[in-house]
Amino acid sequence: LPQVAFAGRSNVGKSSVINRLLNRKNLARVGAAPGKTTHINYFLIDEKFYLVDLPGYGYAKVSKGERERWGRLMEEWFSDNTLMTLGMMIVDARHKPTADDQTMAEWFQGSGRPFAVVANKLDKLKKSEIASNLARIRETLGLDETVKVIPFSAEKGDGKQELLELILAHAGEHL
């Protein structure tokens, strides 16, 4: 089955995006202790695809040891790229992506697998800020034209349909 992998900085709303997408309240734990998740969680969704919840990164208050553990886990997982068939990276629509986000985007793009970016917390932006913020995300992450950036609000539900369609189209191709 296809494996759709979700990654993002701690607190970006990855758990909320996953829960909104699947209409499930507690599949991914919202507000789980940042930086402490050292496991990769796999959820079988409707027997169509595996949703892979990669541990969040970039939390300031984790120890060097925990950071290194995360790095090893990710490198190991990404080097075995038969696992992932679609990469999904969550960023905060309000902010310029961080250096960690850039690294993550490079890993995804380097995997040679299809990849998309979800710009979450759209509800916190003014309408007039949306276009320029999305352009800044695209530019900072060095995305080529084929990579979609999906404006999303886990809180309000914006973008859910687009993201769901993208994932189900992908899953259909890999069944």
Measured distance CA(121)–CA(137) in Å, rounded: 14
**For residues 59 and 78, which CB has a smaller minimum distance to ligand GDP in the complex?**
59
Measured distance CA(133)–CA(95) in Å, rounded: 7
Q: Which of 23, 25, 26, 31 binds ligand GDP (CB under 6 A)?
A: 31
Q: Is 54 in the site for ligand GDP (CB under 6 A)?
A: no
Q: Is 121 in the site for ligand GDP (CB under 6 A)?
A: yes
Measured distance CA(5)–CA(28) in Å, rounded: 13
Total residues interacting with ligand GDP, rule: CB under 6 A:
19
Q: Is 160 in the site for ligand GDP (CB under 6 A)?
A: no
**What type of residue sits at position 150?**
I
Minimum distance of ligand GDP from residue 162's CB (angstroms): 15
**For residues 38 and 79, which CB has a smaller minimum distance to ligand GDP in the complex?**
38
**What type of residue sits at position 127?**
K
Q: Is 16 in the site for ligand GDP (CB under 6 A)?
A: yes
Number of other CB atoms surrounding residue 111 within 10 Å? 17
**For residues 79 and 161, which CB has a smaller minimum distance to ligand GDP in the complex?**
161
Which tokens in the block code for residue 64?
Answer: 């060097």
Measured distance CA(35)–CA(63) in Å, rounded: 9
Name the 3-class secondary structure at 133.
helix
Cβ proximity of 86 and 59 under 8 Å: no
Q: Which of 13, 35, 55, 151 binds ligand GDP (CB under 6 A)?
A: 13
Q: Is 11 in the site for ligand GDP (CB under 6 A)?
A: yes
Q: Is 120 in the site for ligand GDP (CB under 6 A)?
A: yes
Contacting range for ligand GDP; rule: CB under 6 A; set: 41-49, 140-148, 149-157, 163-171: 149-157
**What type of residue sits at position 32?**
A
Q: Is 129 in the site for ligand GDP (CB under 6 A)?
A: no
Going by C-alpha positions, the residue among 37, 30, 26 that lies closest to residue 11 is 30
Q: Residue numbers of the site for ligand GDP (CB under 6 A)? A: 8, 10-16, 30-31, 34, 56, 120-121, 123-124, 153-155
